[in-house]
Amino acid sequence: MAEKFTIYTSPESQWVGVMHLALVEKGLKQDVDYDVKEVSLSNGDNFAPDYIAINPNGTVPSLTAPSLSKPITESADILRWIDARGTKTLAPEDAARSKEIVDLVHSPSMSTNLILFQARDANEMTNKKNSFWNTFLEGRQSRLDKELAAQPSHPFYVSKTAENLSVTSLYRADVGPTHEDFYKMTDDMYRTLAAGLDKLDSLIALPYAAGSRVSEADYNAVPWLSHAMMGADTPVKDVQDFGPLERLVQKTVPDFKIGSKTREWWANIAKTKAFKEVFPALH
């Protein structure tokens, strides 16, 4: 009998979707094959010292197992470890194409934090300040400040507190000229995002991301695109509606459209059992 393992997850985390899609694909069951530990991101529980001991990056998901010498802390690696239990089902037909897709959606230039936290003008900034994302950032900042006070020389807390504060301070400030550089940076980042979405469209093989069967390429790209759509204020049950995301990007790149291959791929992957179970709504 295969060993029981533990997953660290959160409904607030984008990348847990990679892991949960793999768990459904493999037919693994909570409490039978694995245990679940919830980690609240909005409370900053991923910055708690006991969690940092598991995942030094303070990110979610993570996976531990008796046979592992150390936890697995990257979602793509977690998927591969889960897939290796029994016959592999998520190995791509086109490994090179799959790698390009996985690397693209995980690249810093494609981070959905752009959509969630950043702004291009005073109106966007005001809306962000009045949104859940302000509360989210403050919850994280409060936890980081607490942990830094307890361990003032800890390298993780020193760097992460400063990183989070660089955005939180803009939310705390009155909207005005101090935000202009932030707006310009954000506008430039939307151009990069649009180019990245075009590249993703060019890479998709069809009917699935890397060929004729569902693979790790699909299960890494799905959580990214779902989170981007959610962040663009798409109604969470309208999983096929790319309009809000398109309009958000079009403010910077007026002629931007989600590509035809991306649309066809998304419609195909949305019919799968794993997608229906893990993404009944965008998150």
**How far is 182 from 164, CA to CA, in rounded Å?**
14
Residue 2 is predicted with a pLDDT of 83
Distance CA 36, CA 101 (A): 28
How high is the pLDDT of residue 49? 98
Cα–Cα dist 249/255, whole Å: 9
CATH topology of domain 5-83: Glutaredoxin (3.40.30)
What pTM was computed for the model?
Answer: 0.97
DSSP-derived secondary structure letter, 213: S
In the prediction, which pLDDT does 184 show? 98
Q: How much is the pLDDT for 1?
A: 66
Angle between helices 216-231 and 243-250 (to 10 degrees): 70
How many Cβ atoms from other residues are within 10 Å of residue 93's Cβ? 14
Residue 217's closest CA among 262, 273, 278, 282?
Answer: 262
Domain ranges of the chain: 5-83, 95-278
Q: How far apart are the first and last CA of the chain?
A: 34
CA-wise closest residue to 224 among 104, 91, 95: 104
Is the peptide bond prior to 223 cis by the omega test (within 30 degrees of 0)?
Answer: no
Local structure of residue 44 (DSSP, 8 states): T
Residue found by looking up tokens 């079009």 in the block: 250
Cβ burial of 53 (10 Å; 0-12, 13-18, 19+) is exposed
Asked whether 26 and 214 are in contact (CB, 8 A), the reply is: no
Q: Per-residue pLDDT for the chain (283 aa), expressed as one digit of tens each? A: 689 999 999 999 999 999 999 999 999 999 999 999 999 999 999 999 999 999 999 999 999 999 999 999 999 999 999 999 988 899 999 999 999 999 999 999 999 999 999 999 999 999 999 999 999 999 999 999 999 999 999 999 999 999 999 999 999 999 999 999 999 999 999 999 999 999 999 999 999 999 999 999 999 999 999 999 999 999 999 999 999 999 999 999 999 999 999 999 999 999 999 999 999 999 9
For strands 5-9 and 34-38, give the pairing: parallel
